[in-house]
């Protein structure tokens, strides 16, 4: 009975393959044959297993021992065939993984760097400074205003001190800021949207571009001229904007300047007629501009990041 059960178990396992046919044949007397035929690449010929079962064979082994050894050999052959069939799929999967690996490495290599904060930090506003000895200094609101003025001056002093470590010179900066002031105004008058982009931040560029578009819808042309030397250039405040708490050197600085200049202005319509201003008259103009610079980008330049209207 044990022999029959084992044969039935083997037969049920082999029936899972649709491309193979198996049958059991009993020959005369003392031979039992297990025959399997297959059409796939793993089994190209018929497999015949014969079992001779007299009481014992020439080596003294019983029928059950011989049958058990043959079944083990056949099971090992079946497992080898299944492993051989699964190798191509494993290799394809490995190749697909190797192709995707460089893409992940390229993604990890991308580094994002901030070009500008995109806003004016603590925009300058006119404040009535309290003087020591006045009655306001001896009131609660007066002392609060004095404290706020002191904190604002302290922030500006700290920002200027950090800027001087990078080789900042007040006179050189004023010359550079005045050149930017003239270039940006001339480009605005000529409507050069592309040339003006390198001298301003992205947010300021968007604002100036809209301003040029609105002006062109009203006036066909504009004449602008600045009379030199300028009347006055003054630093109103300085602010430092840190972007990394662990590294204080990664920061932007914003300087608010006051320009007091004499200018000439004249606007024309589509026919060339003067519709506004007079280029023969000088007008005293006060502008407050905010310039920005990165302290950690190599070769960073000053750019216009905002204009303040009081």
Q: Tens digits of per-residue pLDDT, 195-249? A: 999 999 999 999 999 999 999 999 999 999 999 999 999 999 999 999 888 887 8
Q: What does pLDDT average to over the chain? A: 76
pLDDT for position 141: 82
Give which of 286, 297, 294, 236 is closest to 259, Cα–Cα: 286
pLDDT for position 199: 95
Q: What integer is the mean pLDDT of 17-34?
A: 46
Predicted confidence (pLDDT) at residue 50 exceeds the cutoff of 60: no
Give the length of the chain. Answer: 310
3-state secondary structure of 222: strand
pLDDT category, 81, cuts 50, 70, 90? Answer: very low
CA–CA separation, 24 and 31 (whole Å):
11
**Over the stretch 163-184, which tens digit does the pLDDT of each residue have?**
999 999 999 999 999 999 999 9
Predicted confidence (pLDDT) at residue 149 exceeds the cutoff of 70: yes
First to last CA, the chain: 107
pLDDT for position 2: 56
Higher pLDDT, 305 or 22: 305
Predicted confidence (pLDDT) at residue 43 exceeds the cutoff of 80: no
The b-or-e profile of 72-101 (16+ CB within 10 A means b, else e) is eebeeebeebeeeeeeeeeeeeeeeeeeee
pLDDT category, 107, cuts 50, 70, 90? Answer: very low
DSSP 8-state class, residue 132: T
Predicted confidence (pLDDT) at residue 190 exceeds the cutoff of 70: yes
Cβ proximity of 252 and 117 under 8 Å: yes
CA–CA separation, 64 and 56 (whole Å):
10
pLDDT for position 271: 92
How many Å separate Cα 102 from the centre of its chain? Answer: 18
pLDDT for position 72: 57
% of the chain beyond a pLDDT of 90: 50
CA–CA separation, 253 and 157 (whole Å):
12
pLDDT for position 51: 44
Helix axes 202-216, 170-190, angle to 10 degrees: 40
């Amino acid at each position: 009975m044990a022999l029959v059960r084992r044969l039935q178990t083997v037969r049920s396992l082999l029936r899972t393959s649709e491309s193979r046919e198996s049958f059991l044949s009993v020959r005369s007397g003392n031979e039992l044959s297990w025959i399997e035929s297959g059409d796939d690449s793993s089994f190209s010929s018929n497999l015949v297993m014969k079992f001779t079962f007299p009481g014992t064979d020439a080596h003294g082994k019983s029928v059950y021992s011989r049958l058990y050894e043959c079944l083990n050999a056949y099971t090992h052959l079946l497992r080898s065939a299944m492993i051989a069939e699964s190798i191509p799929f494993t290799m394809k999967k490995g190749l697909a993984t190797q192709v995707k690996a460089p893409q992940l490495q390229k993604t990890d290599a991308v580094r994002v760097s901030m070009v500008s904060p995109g806003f004016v930090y603590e925009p300058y506003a006119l404040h009535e400074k309290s003087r020591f000895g006045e009655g306001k200094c001896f009131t609660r609101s007066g002392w609060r205003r004095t404290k706020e003025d002191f904190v604002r001056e302290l922030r500006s002093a700290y920002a200027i001190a950090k800027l001087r470590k990078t080789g900042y010179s007040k006179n050189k900066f004023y010359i550079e800021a005045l050149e930017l002031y003239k270039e940006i105004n001339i480009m605005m008058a000529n409507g050069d949207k592309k040339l003006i982009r390198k001298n301003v931040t992205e947010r300021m560029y968007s604002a100036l571009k809209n301003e040029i578009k609105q002006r062109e819808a009203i006036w066909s042309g504009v004449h602008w001229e600045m009379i030199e030397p300028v009347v006055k250039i003054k630093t109103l405040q300085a602010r430092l904007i840190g972007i990394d708490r662990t590294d204080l050197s990664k920061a932007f600085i914003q300087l608010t300047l006051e320009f007091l200049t004499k200018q000439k202005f004249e606007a024309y319509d589509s026919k060339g007629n003067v519709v506004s201003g007079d280029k023969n008259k000088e007008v005293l103009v006060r502008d407050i501009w905010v310039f920005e610079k990165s302290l950690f980008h190599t070769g960073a330049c000053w750019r216009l990041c905002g204009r303040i209207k009081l």
